[in-house]
Chains A and B, each alone.
Chain A
Amino acid sequence: MIESILIDGAIAGGIYSLLALGFTLIYGVSGVINLAHSGFFMIGALLFATSGAFLLPVLEPLGVIPTFILILALILAAISVATIGGIVYKLIISPIIGDDVAIMVVTVSLALIFQQIMLLALDAAKLTYIPVAPFIRGATWGVRNESLLAFGVSVTLFISLWIFITKSKIGGAMRAVSQDREVAMLMGINTERLYMLTMGISAAFATVAGVFYASSVLVGQAPPHMWLQPLFSSFAIVILGGLGSIKGTLIGGFIIAYTETLVAYLIPQGGQIVPAVSLVIIMLIILIRPKGLFGKRIEME
């Protein structure tokens, strides 16, 4: 049981921190609390499943390995969700930027739109969940290969995005804007375009997280309500790590994932109160240490 707690926690932790990274990135750069972030996560899984189902019968007879087709589908889904994210920023969030409550209402409505699209798609296909194909079948050391892949990919992507933000020129622009928007604009940074780009990047990362969440944690199923619980988990991670801190997101992701796994395994009927775990952690953190573990903005790291 200890091994399964350790392994499940690690896999969920990797995916959660990848999801929360996008959330904290868009908050840290533009100050937008994007409640539709896990909507991107869900719509990404939907697009991956549909494009996979579309591409597999076309490319498999040509001799392409199914894993590569699925990777292609994942990249396609990530690009299209990133485009959706950019468009959403431009059309919906940009006109009301600066008004926190309005942004929250609008983004929640957006997440509901995504959920309804998902429900409509499911209704058209007469299913209760969308099946998400695994990249690799089989298992090593008693763990599904799929889960190991999910862990590897999410940690790699997390670290590469971290390097992108700290080392590249666009990352430098992001840090500059999060430090001081006006001065960054004076230095010739197009903040509007940068916000769109950030939104696109965070949406693409949410897609990857969503696909792996559906294929490994939910064992190949993408139900239409899968956005709600990860949303609160990513809140908890972001608040635990400090809004806008990247290091905090990584550590917070693993803490939340392990706590949830422990509760699910150790408390009788624990599966039913797993959603409350991250909520209680949010409460406690805000009451004890409102800044979070590493309460800094992106620029400080």
Chain B
Amino acid sequence: MVIHYLKRAYSSFAAHVFDIPPRLLALLLFMLLIFLPITKPDDYIQRMFRDIFFFATLAASWDLLVGRTGQISLGHALFFGIGAYGTALLYKYFGFPPWVTIPIAVLIGVSISPLIGSPCLRAKGPYLALVTMVLPLILNTLFKYSPLLPITGGERGIGPLPPLIPVEFFRTIGFSGRKAYPMVDLANYYLGLVLLCASSIILYKIANSKTGMVFVSILDDDLASKACGINVTRYKLIAFAISSLFAALTGATYAHVITIVNPSGFLDITLSFLPVILTFLGGIGTLYGPLVGAHIYFIIHRYVLQTTHIPYLTGTQWTFTRDLIFAAVVIILIIKWPRGIARFVTDKLQDLEEARDLDERGKWIWKKYKKEKTK
């Protein structure tokens, strides 16, 4: 009985994954990421990949809102920050463990989203982009305001927060003394991977459901979808809420990974632009693009540029030059491939496939022609 179901599950899995090259590629990447810390226990690379997981999730949630629904938001740091500050303040005042504070913080983020979304969505295009960009910066300034320091902690932030899986847990398993600390990092790595996979699958399912089709119709033509009897405002708010849910979840979890919540780490303008850059690098509106973009961004920015050393430049000068080079790379990539690298590659693959099909058909017609001639 059980074996029968397992067989059916396997055959359906094989039909859905093995036959489609991009999915097979995704599966291979996933396997690689699972075994990465075991084969290469380099702390720095492990942390880099952990950050890739979290920011790819953030970027994917941004992509659902902007790439699929067309509501240009440049303030995704708001929900990220609300999630992080929510869990940090709950821990500070009530002392709840992370597994209680994270869901409450996510709930706060989602319940705030219609309050912010309904007035914001009256604005369109550039106005919407500007107003959403402004919101996290207001919070950023307020949290640094000195009369509020006892609550928010100012630039030094709130912390240290407890890690998601406490050290004591690893001690009870049998990692004694100092050996328990790397295990916390390892746990964070796998939690990030789980978060990324779960939210990507959920976002993908939402984007391909009926609701997702309505989102795309709003992106294509706001007015026409209204004329078809779709409650456009409601669906925009739904998109806003889904997007803010994943952003707040990422923020709240990442707060416990970093263990210190401060304005420059969670509400900065660079953080609002990070998902935008990641999505643009990968390909907007694809949902797998942000994942590709996150890998490109972090590997170039945190690994390639970090490990190369240029003579004649001091350390700080190289830091500034590195950021300069990276900004230039972003500009060049966006101008060169405005639809994203992932899309560029898939388009090329599709072209090749079509060319091959045409070629085979051509051969077939040629054979037929020759046969007829020989008769």
Question: Interface on A for B, CB 8 Å cutoff?
Answer: 27, 33, 92, 95-96, 99-102, 104-106, 108-110, 112-113, 116-117, 119-120, 123-124, 228, 232, 235, 239, 243, 268-269, 272-273, 275-276, 279-280, 282-283, 286-287, 290
Q: How far is the CB of A183 from chain B (nearest CB, A)?
A: 22
Of all chain A residues, the one with the shortest Cβ separation from B139 is A276
Q: How far is the CB of A179 from chain B (nearest CB, A)?
A: 18
Q: Is B187 an interface residue (CB 8 A)?
A: no
Q: A275-B141, A282-B131, A282-B134 are in contact. Are A102 and B338 (CB under 8 A)?
A: yes
Q: Please report the C-alpha to C-alpha distance between residue A275 and residue B268 in the assembled complex, in whole angstroms.
A: 13
Cβ contact within 8 Å between A283 and B134: yes
- Taking CB atoms, residues of chain A closer than 8 Å to B269 are 228
- Taking CB atoms, residues of chain A closer than 8 Å to B127 are 239, 243, 286, 290
Of all chain A residues, the one with the shortest Cβ separation from B73 is A101
- Taking CB atoms, residues of chain B closer than 8 Å to A95 are 335, 338
Q: A102-B334, A102-B338, A290-B123 are in contact. Are A280 and B138 (CB under 8 A)?
A: yes
Q: Please list the 3 inter-chain residue pairs (A to B) with the smallest Cβ-Cβ separation, ordered nearest first.
A: A116-B324, A276-B141, A109-B327
Interchain Cβ contacts under 8 Å between A and B, 27 examples: A33-B126, A92-B331, A100-B125, A100-B129, A102-B280, A104-B129, A105-B273, A105-B330, A109-B327, A109-B328, A109-B330, A112-B323, A112-B324, A116-B323, A124-B317, A232-B137, A268-B147, A275-B137, A275-B141, A276-B137, A276-B141, A276-B142, A282-B131, A282-B134, A283-B134, A286-B120, A286-B131
Contact residue among B122, B135, B137, B141 (Cβ-Cβ distance under 8 Å from A272) = B141
Cβ contact within 8 Å between A283 and B331: no
- Taking CB atoms, residues of chain B closer than 8 Å to A99 are 338
- CB-defined interface of B128-166 with A at 8 Å, one 1/0 digit per residue? 011100110110011011110000000000000000000
Q: How far is the CB of A102 from chain B (nearest CB, A)?
A: 6
Cβ contact within 8 Å between B320 and A109: no
- Taking CB atoms, residues of chain B closer than 8 Å to A106 are 330-331, 334-335
Q: Is B177 an interface residue (CB 8 A)?
A: no
Which residues 299-352 of B have a CB within 8 angstroms of A? 314, 316-317, 320-321, 323-324, 327-328, 330-331, 334-335, 338
Q: Please report the C-alpha to C-alpha distance between residue A276 and residue B140 in the assembled complex, in whole angstroms.
A: 9
Of all chain B residues, the one with the shortest Cβ separation from A113 is B327
Cβ contact within 8 Å between A116 and B126: no
Q: A102-B280, A282-B130 are in contact. Are A112 and B142 (CB under 8 A)?
A: no
Q: A120-B320, A276-B138 are in contact. Are A105 and B338 (CB under 8 A)?
A: no
Cβ contact within 8 Å between A116 and B321: yes
Contact residue among A96, A108, A243 (Cβ-Cβ distance under 8 Å from B335) = A96
Most buried by A among B66, B123, B127, B317: B127
Contact residue among B145, B324, B330, B335 (Cβ-Cβ distance under 8 Å from A273) = B145
Most buried by A among B74, B119, B137: B137
Q: A228-B269, A239-B127 are in contact. Are A110 and B327 (CB under 8 A)?
A: yes
The majority secondary structure among interface residues of chain A is: helix
Cβ contact within 8 Å between B141 and A101: no
Q: Please report the C-alpha to C-alpha distance between residue A251 and residue B334 in the assembled complex, in whole angstroms.
A: 37
Cβ contact within 8 Å between B280 and A279: no
- Taking CB atoms, residues of chain B closer than 8 Å to A124 are 317
Q: Is B72 an interface residue (CB 8 A)?
A: yes
Cβ contact within 8 Å between A113 and B134: no
- Taking CB atoms, residues of chain B closer than 8 Å to A33 are 126, 129-130
Q: Please report the C-alpha to C-alpha distance between residue A123 and residue B138 in the assembled complex, in whole angstroms.
A: 31
Cβ contact within 8 Å between A116 and B146: no
Q: Please report the C-alpha to C-alpha distance between residue A233 and residue B126 in the assembled complex, in whole angstroms.
A: 16
- Taking CB atoms, residues of chain A closer than 8 Å to B122 are 286-287, 290
Q: How far is the CB of B123 from chain A (nearest CB, A)?
A: 5
Q: Is B284 an interface residue (CB 8 A)?
A: yes
Most buried by A among B135, B280, B320: B320
- CB-defined interface of B222-234 with A at 8 Å, one 1/0 digit per residue? 0000000000000
- Taking CB atoms, residues of chain B closer than 8 Å to A100 are 72, 125-126, 129
Cβ contact within 8 Å between B324 and A105: no
Q: Is B102 an interface residue (CB 8 A)?
A: no
Of all chain A residues, the one with the shortest Cβ separation from B284 is A101
Q: Is B239 an interface residue (CB 8 A)?
A: no
- Taking CB atoms, residues of chain A closer than 8 Å to B134 are 232, 235, 279, 282-283
